[in-house]
Every structure is written in structure tokens, then in C-alpha cells.
Structure 1
């Protein structure tokens, strides 16, 4: 009887809303495994799919095992995945699309591919999804901590940038543009030595900009951890507040991009990075009479 009472006392109080779900996941993230956190991030970012899709379909789309969603639900205090699913279902019942086949996922819904064998049709659908992603980005720019991010960059002795896998292109561009704007920047790429060794040269006053998206590159997560352990601030650019690079980050910029069967666009991500760069450039022009923004050529 005593053991039963003890077990009941330690049973987590299940969230009563999607916002409570997100808050619980963030506040108690230490008790969830990395895969459960990734599943939680997927749930938060795709409430419509979670509300009405079988867990097997969520597994196929997310690349995560079904067990991760089930264990997440149980750790949240639900009896199982079905009970957790009900939390997201009612407010979204009318909005969910009827068909899920051959679609491009993006932040504002689903884009149907009329003919998957027609590369022009695929391109047109992907372009429409990118337009929606950019629209979504434009709608939330005023809620992003862009000024705080600019302050971090301009206040740093040296800016270190890391982005692996699909984020490598954005990291390379940001590093190039920062140097063109007169901001000393080093891209951590792991060439010739490990990324951890390269991160260990960060000095006091240096900033790390970490860019990562599912399935979250191990190198980026490692370097973010090294920076935090050394006391260096981290500016995280990622897709979710549950992303492993957001923990301990000084500022977080969230961005969504279109996706077609695992091929993710960089449109919104690069637009956000360029917005950040233009903000930095105009700030520098306002502070220095001899700074010519047209010479950046980024």
C-alpha cells in the first residue's frame, strides 16, 4: 500500500493543454531521453499530424521509433499515446487536411504534389511551400529576439559559427558575410582536427552561433556543450525550443522550412540569416561614418 502511495505521489501531472505540454517538456527536460525530447519537439511543431495520425505514421514521417512517442506520453503522465493525442485533437479537428499522401510539409500546412513523376510539378509545389515558409517567417519576425542576437554578435570578441549536414551552407554563408562586414568570425568545420578541439580555442568574450535542425548533428550539439562549459554564450538557430542546442543558449531564433520527403529547403533559414546580417550591417553603418554597407557584397 505504501509503495502504491509513493508511486502515485511521483506520478507526473499530465498537461491539460498544448502550452502546458511544451512548458513541461522544457522545464523538466532532464528527465527525458534525447529521442523523447526530439519526439516532443515533433509533437509541438506538428500538432495537426499528432492529433489525427496513427503513431506508426508519425514514426515514418519523423524518422523516430514509435516507442519514443509512446514513452514520451507515459512520462508526461498519460496512460499512452492515444490519451496524449486527444490533447491536440479537439481544437484542430476542423483544420486538419483530408489526405496526407505526396505532400510537402511546411509551417502553414500541406502542399500537394499533383504528379510526383513530373519534376516541374514537384518544383512548382516546392516553390509554393517555400512561399508559405517565407510568409510564416515574415509573420513572426517581430516576435524574434533579433536585436538581442545582433547585440550578442557585435559584442563578441570573435564569433564562432558551426552548422553541420544540411545547416553547413547557412553556417558557411553567415561566416563569410560576418567577415565581409568586418566582424571577426571563424567557422568550425572539423577540418584537420575534431570540432571539440576547434571549439576549445574559444576565449572569454567569444560567441558561438550554432545552427542545427532535425536530426540535429552530433558535432553541433557537442560544440554547443563545449561553449557552455567554457562560459561562452550561444546563439542558437534551430526549429524548436526543444532542440538540444537551445538548452542554456543566450538567445534562440526559431525558423521553419519546407520539406519534401526528407529534402528540406533552406529558403526561410537563409532569409533569417540574411536578415540578421543586414541588421548587423545597418547597425555598424549607424555607428561608424566610414562604414560603407555597399562594400560588403554578401
Structure 2
């Protein structure tokens, strides 16, 4: 009798296992994995019936999926999603109270040192996992675009503000989407195959961002994305998807890797256009 698959101890461990094993899963189980990690909040709060309907599978498939990856049943798996949500949603007051201030008068230095260490960790992982070939493909794709559309929401938005500013200074036409002006769909409707887009989204993935990516995919617009997991819903929509791991300090996550990668892409695009023209 074969031994039972070990149960993942954390949401991160679950993500790592599914990223490794999804390609070898039966079609319906892989479909279930893709939905669950694109909609983790819905999985945490939904019922087996509503989740199965949204994922396009039978409720029994959820049970089969859970048992295949080491859980006793779907409710056991759902507990892991709820624990992730609880940890993510702890109040900022709780995060602040968890800080170790050390001796009086050192609070500022300790805070700065903590965030510097987290930023250095994020950048070290970015350098370690850097894919030169993917970076060259992405920068060439963006350099050939007539207009670069920049799309993100919430905490994924800051890297695009930096790109928008730099593109303007470098004479590269871009449009930023995901703001509060409410015209994103109209703006994206003007994008063509001669354009390109950059999307940034991290767990929990913004439904608006993914919807914008699907719209551009249907219009034939090539997409470069920055996300955080091989299970990100941006992966199948993108020509190139960079997967980043951002470190945090006391529950406050840095964006050191995302901002650094975004700036490197911006300058690479400008350099290609300078050397080869817009049709690089």
C-alpha cells in the first residue's frame, strides 16, 4: 500500500508543490489548481459548490484534488487558505506591536536596518533567479511597440509609476491603466498588435488586472508581466512572465525587486530603441 502524500504545512509550501507538479496532474486537477491560486480569497470563504462552479469542475473534483496533495478532504485544504488570509490580514497595529525596538533611541536604526535587510534579500533572489534570455525577449518586445500600456492595481502599482515617468523622459510613448479615472477599458480598446503591455500583479491577484490582461490578450497585444508565482493567472496570458519573491520585515513587504526589475526593463527598452530604432 503506497504511503500518503505529505500534507503541505503552509500556503507557500503548497504553492511550491503545485508549481512543480501541476504539469503532470490530470487535466481537471490542474484546472482546479489554476483557479484556486488565481482566486485564493474566494477559496477561503466559498463553499465547495460555489468554488467548483467558478472553477468549472464538479465538487467531487475538489475533494479528489485535496486528497491528491495530501489533505484529508476539501475542508482541510480550505483551512490552509483561511490561515493564509488571516496572516495576511493582520492589522497594521498588530504588525507594529510585533516590532522589536531594542534599546531606547535605536528604534529608527533598527527599523531601517530591518527594511534594508529585506530589500537586500529581495534583490539577492532577483539576481540569483535572473533569466537573461527572458529579459532580452521582454525588452525587445517592448522596444518594438508603438505604445506600451502599463497595467496594475493596489500595491503592484508603484513600479509602473516609475516606468511611466522614465518612459516619458526617454521619449517612449506609454499609457498607464489601473488608476481611478474609470476609463481603463476604453483606453485598452485602442491597443493593437503593434503595441505591447506590462502587467504587475501579486497575491491576492487583482480581478481588474487579470481582466485587463485577458482583454489585451484577445486583442492580440503581447504582454510582459511581473508576478510572484508560476501559478499566477498572468503566466498563461504573457509572452514573458518574471516571477519575483519579495522579502518582508515585520509583515511589511518591500518592492525592491519589482521596482529594480521594472527600472532595468525601462532602460533596456530605451537602449534597444536607441541602437536599433522602434522596430528592434
The interval holding the TM-score normalised by the smaller chain is 0.5 to 0.7
**Contact conserved, 1:38 with 1:243, CA < 8 A, in 2?**
no
Tell me the equivalent position of 1:78. Answer: 68
**Contact conserved, 1:237 with 1:253, CA < 8 A, in 2?**
yes
Residue 187 of structure 2 is aligned to residue 198 of structure 1: yes
Tell me the equivalent position of 1:104. Answer: none
Q: Which has the higher contact order (CA 8 A, sep 6+)?
A: 2
**Contact conserved, 1:239 with 1:256, CA < 8 A, in 2?**
yes
Separation (CA, whole Å) in 1 of partners of 2:27 and 2:217: 18
Separation (CA, whole Å) in 2 of partners of 1:21 and 1:276: 31
Residue 23 of structure 2 is aligned to residue 23 of structure 1: yes
Separation (CA, whole Å) in 2 of partners of 1:227 and 1:247: 13
Tell me the equivalent position of 1:281. Answer: 270
**Contact conserved, 2:22 with 2:33, CA < 8 A, in 1?**
no
Change (3 A) 1:272 1:144: farther
**Contact conserved, 2:199 with 2:226, CA < 8 A, in 1?**
yes
Tell me the equivalent position of 2:100. Answer: 115
Residue 35 of structure 2 is aligned to residue 34 of structure 1: yes
Tell me the equivalent position of 1:126. Answer: 115
Give the structure-1-normalised TM-score.
0.63
**Contact conserved, 1:158 with 1:207, CA < 8 A, in 2?**
yes
Separation (CA, whole Å) in 1 of partners of 2:26 and 2:251: 26
Change (3 A) 1:287 1:27: farther
Q: Give a deviation string over 1:145-169, Cα, whole Å, max 9, x none.
A: 0000011101112110111101111
Tell me the equivalent position of 2:152. Answer: 163
Change (3 A) 1:116 1:25: farther
Q: Give the paired residue count.
A: 221
**Contact conserved, 1:74 with 1:80, CA < 8 A, in 2?**
no
Q: CA deviation at 1:227?
A: 0.5
Q: What RMSD over aligned residues (CA atoms) do the two structures have, in Å? A: 3.5
Separation (CA, whole Å) in 1 of partners of 2:272 and 2:237: 27
